[in-house]
Structure formats: C-alpha cells, structure tokens
Amino acid sequence: MNVSAFLIFGAPGSGKGTVGAKLAMVTGIKHLSTGDMFRGLSPASENGKLFSSYAGVGKLVPDEVTIQIFSRYINGLIDTNKFDPEKDSFLLDGIPRTVAQANLIKSVVDVKHVFVLDIPDYSVIVERLLKRAKIEGRKDDADEGVIRARLNEYETKTAAVLGAYDSSMITKINGAQSPDEVFRDTLSAYIKTK
C-alpha cells in the first residue's frame, strides 16, 4: 500500500524538525522524523544497536535496514489507527537520504512534493547544532567532528537524492532565515501544492 507524502530536505540543523512540527500543527499533515524514529529505538534491540554503531561516528544506517525499519514503523501507525492512508499524508523528514533509498521507498511512498531548506554556509549549521546539543542534550550534535562527518554525508549522498525527483516537484527555501520566516515560506509552498 502506498502512502501519500511530502519530503522535507536540508542538511542536519537546517530546521527540518522545527518546520515539520509547525507544519503538522497548522495543516494536519503527519510529521515523521526518521531521526526521532531511530533515536526512539531501544538501545538493547538489534536495530537500536545497529543504529548506534553508525550514528556514533556520523554515518548513515544502511539503506535496506533503514527502509525495513521505516516500513515496519509506517505499518504500525496504520495498524494502530494513528495514520489513515485514505486521507492522511506524511511530511517525511530524514528519508530518503540516498538515491537507493529514494528508489526503495517508491513501493511504499507516493511523493507529492519536496521542500528543501537550503543553507549554503555550513558554519551557520555547526553553530546551530552545537547550541542544540546544549539545549536538548543531543550527543550526535555535541561533537564538531561528528557534525562535519554528518554534513559530508549529506553533501555526498543525500543532496544527490534531489536528482531522483523532477525539478517541478522541488521548492527551495532559504533555511538561513529566522525559524518563523522559514516556516512562512514552507507553509506558502505547501499551500501552492494543494
């Protein structure tokens, strides 16, 4: 069964989670952060251990494992009536992260549009993530070396995913603006897709 979804893209720290949560509140779209999904895995579980072994060094979880966990999670939301594929849509944050994942999710997800929070100056991102680490206690944001490795993964793998979608489906938004301005521009772009 295919679920309807919008994608929100951007480097780590570009504001995807903040914008996604606000968009969900205002529009009723279901925001799903795969980062939150992975961090919510039991550290004692096989998937939790696997995730930690990659995330601890700033690497991405292998594509097949990511899609397997993601598909199980989506089915769980459907099975527990937290998502109705007949009327609900997801705003996916953090998936797909590679071209292979973009191809693997086609059997599960019908992508409607892609929003890209663009921040060309990575020093802005590093500063944001170090600040977030102090506020939220996120270990993956506290080490500048890990942050730079995550940004490199984004540049080399995730940014290439945009090529898997037609340019008419992609809206770039200036992610270096204030959170309210980024949200305003994303909401405006979302409304235009309707």
> Over the chain, what is the mean pLDDT?
90
Report whether pLDDT(81) > 70. yes
- H, E, C per residue of the chain: CCEEEEEEEECCCCCHHHHHHHHHHHHCCEEEEHHHHHHCCCCCCHHHHHHHHHHCCCCCCCHHHHHHHHHHHHHHHHHCCCCCCCCCEEEEECCCCCHHHHHHHHHCEEEEEEEEEECCCHHHHHHHHHHHHHHHCCHHHCCHHHHHHHHHHHHHHHHHHHHHCCHHHEEEEECCCCHHHHHHHHHHHHHHHC
pLDDT band for 89, please (50, 70, 90 cuts).
Answer: very high
Report whether pLDDT(166) > 90. yes
Report whether pLDDT(170) > 90. yes
Question: Residue with structure tokens 């903040």?
Answer: 18
- Four-residue CA torsion sign, 135, 139, 144, 149: negative
Range of the domain at 84: 3-193
Q: What is the pLDDT of residue 69?
A: 85
Q: Characterize the bridge pairing of strands 30-33 and 89-93.
A: parallel
Q: Which of 26, 9, 194, 28 is nearest to 112 (CA)?
A: 194
pLDDT tens per residue across span 133-164: 888 887 777 888 888 888 988 888 877 899 99
Percent of the chain's residues with pLDDT above 70: 99
Q: What is the pLDDT of residue 1?
A: 63
Domain count, the chain: 1
CATH number, domain containing residue 40: 3.40.50.300
